[in-house]
Amino acid sequence: MSGTKQTAKTAGNSETVKVTVFKRVETLRPKARAVAPEKIAGKAMKAVQFYSPYGYRARIGVIIPGVNVNLEPEFYRVAPKGVSVHTARMLLLGKATQESYLKMEQDTERAAQELATAEVDVVTWACTSGGVLLQPRKIEERICQIAGCPAISTLTSAIAALNVLGVKRVALGTPYVSFINESEIKSLDDAGFKVVSMYGLEMGENQEERRGIARVPPQSLHRFASHIDRDDADAIFISCTNIAGIEEIAQVEAERGKPVITSNSVTIWHALRTAGINDKIEGFGRLLSEH
């Protein structure tokens, strides 16, 4: 840490003493929370201003659609000791349309405000379909402004994961209806990836079907991956944060001989790495164990 040098004369003595003045950590680390820890703790709590019984390494905030019931359990399953996970929800109701996703996005600011009160270190906006239909970078910027910490999204996490894995050609599997699938193919293409095969389950047309996505058996990943895999695919991507299956990834990779990612695995990986948690975590695929 660099500092500026000042000089001072001691009383009754002409000797000059050099004093090093350091800048506050908050100014040196732009991504650090803007509020100083002692201001949050108060004078009476100075001794424990850095204490957190479960999130002593990092607190991760997650914003998910209200119907999502699978990302949280998988995050709890993967997160190493000392990392806590805190969620807020957005309402996604009615027929699956661009307008229904725009209404869901309106809940983002409220959700970010809630997570700001939890003093989280990073927030992830965890909706893949919303990411391909909306503007994830713009959403991330707004969350960052409100929560006072870095913000990421599932779509940008998937792009980061594919890049770190050295992938160029993707076999894509989703539960989505056609217009969302088309938007996801375009989003990946815009990011520099070629979707060489794709299969969508055509689910999520309404609220009942969105609940059904959460009930797709995790073991389905084996046959799903086999169906969409091609020799020219560098990796397999099973998209949607409400599809369970993170514990199947390693075995599917062994069967297919290539990296396999899910929306949840990339979201969890990117959130951990953004929070400064660089543990290599075994049992959930190459992304988490090698990167």
Domain-by-domain residue ranges, the chain?
Answer: 48-155, 156-263
Per-residue DSSP letter, 10:
P
Non-local CB neighbours of 166 within 8 Å, separated by 6+ positions: 234
Residue ranges of the chain with pLDDT lower than 50? Answer: 1-2, 4-5, 8, 10-11, 28-30
What is the pLDDT at residue 92? 86
Amino acid (one-letter) located at 27: T
The 10s digit of each residue's pLDDT in 13-42 is 555 556 666 666 555 444 555 567 777 777
CB 256 within 8 A of CB 229: yes
**CB contact set of 243 (below 8 Å; sequence gap of 6+):** 70, 175, 213, 214, 216, 262, 263, 264
Euclidean distance between CA atoms 239 and 257, whole angstroms? 19
Is 156-263 the same fold as 48-155?
yes
Per-residue pLDDT at 2: 47
The CATH topology of domain 156-263 is Rossmann fold (3.40.50)
Top CATH class of 48-155 equals alpha beta
**What average pLDDT does the structure give for the chain?**
90
| 235 three-state secondary structure | strand
Q: Is 95 helix (H, G, I), strand (E, B) or coil?
A: coil
pLDDT of residue 34: 57
Q: What is the DSSP string of 41-78?
A: H-GGGGGGTT--SS-SSEEEEEEEETT--SHHHHHHHH
